[in-house]
Each structure stands twice: as structure tokens, then as C-alpha cells.
Amino acid sequence: MKTILPNYKEELIMKRINILLMVLFVFTSFQGCGKKEVVVEEEVPVDTLPSLPENPAAFVELIRLDSTIVLDIKYATTDNFTGEILYPEACCFARTCMAESLVRVSKKARILGYRLKVFDCYRPQRVQFRMWELVPDSRYVANPKRGSRHNRGTAVDLTLLDSTGSELDMGSGFDEFTERSHRNYQGLTEEQRENRELLTHLMTSTGFTIVNSEWWHYDYFDWKEFPLIDVSFDSLEYIGLSTADSIH
């Protein structure tokens, strides 16, 4: 018995130590899981904020970021200079960086009592070829061999709406390929000139540049950093196409 008792006590002690270690392991594991649960609970629900891709070259659909922006995508109808339906649906996709800038413009406009109305955003390059076939005039239609800033997802055609939802008088209509659409046109009324200046100020103060022959057209300042692409709308997912994935 004298030889067995010490071994028994030693075995009992080891069992208690093992039990304590198991309890400690379970406790710390539970604590770890608890910490993870707290982090998840503190996260902002995905559907409460616009989900923006981290890559500024990715594409987003503009109205998902700002539903107050009105879309009147002319090339999804026959109401455009070609008289043809060039887009299968009325969508406005843009590079994330440009879309974020447009949202800032929209906020500035709403403070002043106006809203943005968008006519065109990203344009597949195949559409550019069709436009050039009909109007091969580089003052109004970019040569598809060089491409348009629209084909890069870094250009937008737009105007302003007043509090009644009516377009401000800009002196000419969208895609009116005459001198009246030029920025230096001298035949504008004072109201038309002020309306153009308002739109120009809102856009250029938020990182956009102008085109002299079209009062409605604005380019994102960093447009050269993005390649020309020819991808259909249904292939542009919300957290979509990055530069690395683009089709040249």
C-alpha cells in the first residue's frame, strides 16, 4: 500500500490539473468567440450604406449611390441624334471615383434647390463605332479608334432640374450638334448663360473638366488613367470590372 498510495495521489493530482486545463481552454475559447460576436454586432449593416468597391477603377451603378439623381438615358430610346436604340436598358455605370464625385455634385446641387439629370455615362465602345458611322464629326462624336471618355467610364452628360422637375434652359438641347451647344456661343440669354455657369461651377469645383463644343459633357479629371473598354451593361456587376479585368 505504501508504494501504491503515492502513485494514486500523483495520478489524482494530474487528473485535476488536466480538468483545470480543459476548463481554462473552454473558457478562453468562449471568450474568443465572444469577442468575434461583438465585432460583428458593431458592424454597420450592409444595406444601410452604399457598398463601394475599394478599387477606384471598378464600376458602380450611379443611382445605387444616390437615388435623387434622375436618369434620362437617351441612347436607350430613339430620342437621340441617331434615331436608334443603342442601349438595351437605361443604366448609368461609372468608375467608382467618378461616381463618388458625382454624388458630391448632387449634394451641392440639392442644397441650392436643384437636382442632377443624367443623359449618358459609361458607353460600350461598339456603340461609339455606330455613332461615328452616322456622324463622323470629331467636334461632337469621338473617333472610336481613339475612343471616347465615355468608353472609359469617366465621362458624363447631364443637366440640372429645378424644384418643379423641369430642366433649366441651357440654350440648346442635349446632343444638339450646332454652335448653340458650344460654350462660347454668344447668342445666349442672360438666364441661359447663368444656368450654364451654375452647372459648370458645380462640376468643375468637384474635379470635372469641360468640353468646349458640348455644354452637357464633363470628363473626370483623371480619365487618362483608365483604359477603353467594350463591355455590355449586363456584364458590369455592381462591384464590377477592375482595370485588370478590362477588355481593351
Confidence (pLDDT) at 34: 36
Domain boundaries of the chain, sorted by first residue? 1-43, 47-245
Taking the model in full, what pTM does it have?
A: 0.73
Dist. CA 47–CA 141, nearest whole Å: 39
Alpha helices (H) in the chain, listed in sequence order: 4-42, 62-65, 96-111, 125-134, 190-204
pLDDT digits (tens, 9 = 90+) for 181-226: 999 999 999 999 999 999 999 999 999 999 999 999 999 998 988 9
Could you please report the per-residue DSSP string of 156-180? EEEEEE-TTSPBP--SS-TT--SGG
Give the right CATH number for 47-245 from 1.10.569.10, 1.10.10.10, 3.30.1380.10, 3.40.50.300. Answer: 3.30.1380.10
The three-state secondary structure class of 212 is coil
Active site residues: 214
Q: Is 157 annotated as a binding residue?
A: yes
By percentage, how much of the chain surpasses pLDDT 70? 73
Region of 97 (left: φ > 0; alpha: ψ -120 to 50; beta: rest) is alpha
Residues of the chain scoring pLDDT < 50: 1-13, 15, 17, 19-53, 238-248
Name the 3-class secondary structure at 59. strand
